[in-house]
Chain A
Amino acid sequence: MSDSVFGVLGLFGSADELLAAIPKIKAKGFAKLEAYTPYPVHGIDEALDLPKSKLGVLVFLIGSLACISAFTFEWWTSTRGYPLRTGGKPFNGWQGWVLVMVEATILLSTFTAGIGMLFAFNKLPFFGNPMLESKAITSITRDRFALVLVPVGGTLDVEGAAGALRAAGAESIEVVRVPEETKPGLAWWARTGVAIAAACAVAGVGTAWVIRAFPTIKPMVNMQVQPKLNAQSADAFFANGRGMQLPPIGTVARGYMPVVDTTPDAAGTNLFNPLPVTAQVLTRGREMFNLHCAVCHDRLGTGKPWLDSTYHAMPVDLQSAPMRAAPDGFLYWVISQGIRTMPGYAADISQDDRWAVVRYIRALQRSQDATKGDLK
């Protein structure tokens, strides 16, 4: 048992009595006081002359830093690292970054306040406080307010301190001693290590067992389980046991006649536009052209893309002489199969609509090269 005194403790019945006692005790020459209360008492910082907590400053600094970091991150990704046009907004559209900045500020400020309070200011990984060994601690955590006179420069007049506390109205006095210092030895580390390893093993084995014993529980299966065949699933109806059957060889779906020619030039000689030139066909052609083609080829087919120059697209000018001379089958093949960087549109535009687009391209070409005879 060490003889060193942590301090002399006096218990008070209320926060007001505690606050009233502080100046009386200070007047007797006891400079260093600590207060232990069950809840934060307003005005106690001033009464004890505690230095102002630096936590607020720290929270402000870290919060500001988080705000600036979020801004820098957003600015860099949006304007330097990966500029991407979204919804027609400018790259440096700061308005959209504000939410991230606010959230980052709040998150980091809260973390700083919580973790900083526990670890930096209250020295959390810390094995004990002499106050925890005192008899008064149970009542301090309930409804009593304690004032502890601690030594200044290693010395404390224990009798005088007790007298001062009693004179200031303390209900009871206790001398709190510093417990024998116990540094964790090898045995402690061994015990702790074994305990952590055991906890990991129990958790791992337990989880593995739970997963086996209780297979995934599906709370609602009405959408998942339906009386129909899913793709690639087995079914006993057909002899080969497959849910999906192959179509008979040579089957062609309506409106999906495959393009057999391997080059556009071959298609130009082999294929002919089956559609008549009617207002209905041209209207449909215009609709499809404006929907799928105009974004790169322009509404007039001039090949001036509407896309941003960052895409480096160089589409063909459909008004050019080679395109005017190209047969219908050539254009149809290109629309279906794609050419160079242009993808094929066979999956997006149906067979008849592709032919309608070809008719519409012809109409566009004629509109840009009209003769007097056309004005009838």
Chain B
Amino acid sequence: MNRAPAALWALLAVGGAGVVSTYVLDGAQRFWANWLLWFVFMVCIALGALFIVALQHVTGATWSVPLRRAPERVAALTPWLVPVALIALFSLPVLFSWTQPGAASDPAIAMKTSWLNVPFFITRLVICVALWVVSYRILVLGSVRQDATRDPQATVRLRRFAPIFMIILALTLTAFAFDWVSSLEAGWYSDIFGVYLFAGAVTSGLAVTSLMVIYLYRRGRLPGITEDHLYNLGGLLFGFTIFWGYIAFSQYLLQWYADLPIEVFWFRERTTGTMESVFILLGVGRFFVPFLALITRRDKKNWKRLRWVSIWVIFMEAVDVFWLVSPIQGKGLHLGWPEAAFAVFFLSAGLLVVIRAMGMGEDTPVGDPFLPDGRNFHLR
């Protein structure tokens, strides 16, 4: 464990050097496009994990209590969204065409200026990130504190707050998706886009949860966790994979079929030319691979299977965000050393945050009164 952080710090330094060089050598547009990509990716992972935590409280699940600390620790990425988001604000004049002077003369944008204006945009970002950090502090730190106090009332408070968080998440994630991804091409709109980003966030949140659970499970740090718990995680991942496929294809089919110039140009940029290969990879990789890999009951219980599917799903989340953000840089596949440097930088930084969060509280929420129920969970 000690050698890993040292290697990660080295990778972070190398990645950081690459990130800075991107700005110097490749210009502002590529730098900010990549920064935005990893900002969106990080939001999806952190909020996906936070959603998994809240989902367990909302549904009153007991089976998941012993493994709930895993998504809670991944959600520790949430406070780190603050610096990433604040830096991302500098991308506004570079990436967002609606901030350009004279953009309002475009009728498609003029219609939206009451929403797309810089002061309101910044206000929304501040509100969203602040709500996420506050929710993280209530949901996760409240649970960690319970390890010491063993106060059963803490569980009651968490379960009361979780539904409120669901509403917060629905509104803020939709606003975030519209602001930071859709509005890159401000003429485009898709009502379902917030749900699209949400579906991706939940699958990747489940994937990181499964990875963390499998890591601890194999080292015997999660007593009481059986194949039945893995079966539930695999089942949720399987289900939300279908949900993602349904949402993604619905959005695509409707715009393809209507063929309206104001909508369809967005898909044209992303499904023709060199982006076509990314589009096919996304459809096959994000839906068919996890779908077929987790289809039987035995596969969902198999930790080896679940581990590689989880890693693949997280990779596909990155491909998904790349597919969404990268085409704003113009035609062609924008993939090279700057993208690699950003990936190294953000992944090593994220892993360092999660490794540090591994010291947060016990491996299982020992203060939760439902812990014995969760440990005794069997599929019968």
Contact = CB atoms under 8 A, between A and B. Distances in A.
Interface of A: 15, 41-43, 56, 60, 87-89, 93, 95-96, 98-99
A87 B380 contact: no
A87 B249 contact: no
Contact of B379 (A42, A60, A99): A42
Nearest to B292: A60
Contact of B259 (A42, A56, A88): A88
B304 interface: no
A60 B378 CA distance: 27
Closest 10 CB pairs of A and B: A42-B380, A42-B379, A95-B256, A43-B380, A95-B253, A41-B380, A87-B259, A88-B259, A56-B296, A98-B249
Contacts of B256: 93, 95
Contacts of A88: 259
17 contacts: A41-B380, A42-B378, A42-B379, A42-B380, A43-B379, A43-B380, A60-B295, A87-B257, A87-B259, A89-B257, A93-B256, A95-B253, A95-B256, A95-B257, A96-B253, A96-B257, A98-B253
A102 to B, nearest CB: 9
Nearest to B258: A87
A15 to B, nearest CB: 7
B23 interface: no
Contacts of B296: 56
Contacts of A41: 380
Nearest to A43: B380
Interface residues of B, number: 11
Contacts of B378: 42-43
Contacts of B253: 95-96, 98-99
A375 B312 CA distance: 71
Given A56-B296, A95-B252, A98-B253, A15 B380 contact: yes
A98 B296 CA distance: 23
Nearest to B254: A95
Nearest to B228: A42
Contacts of B295: 60
Nearest to B245: A102
A41 B259 CA distance: 52
A77 to B, nearest CB: 18
Contacts of B259: 87-89
A162 to B, nearest CB: 28
Interface centre among B295, B378, B380 (most CB of A within 10 A): B380
Contacts of B249: 98
Interface string B363-380: 000000000000000111
A99 B252 CA distance: 12
Contacts of B257: 87, 89, 95-96
A88 B256 CA distance: 11
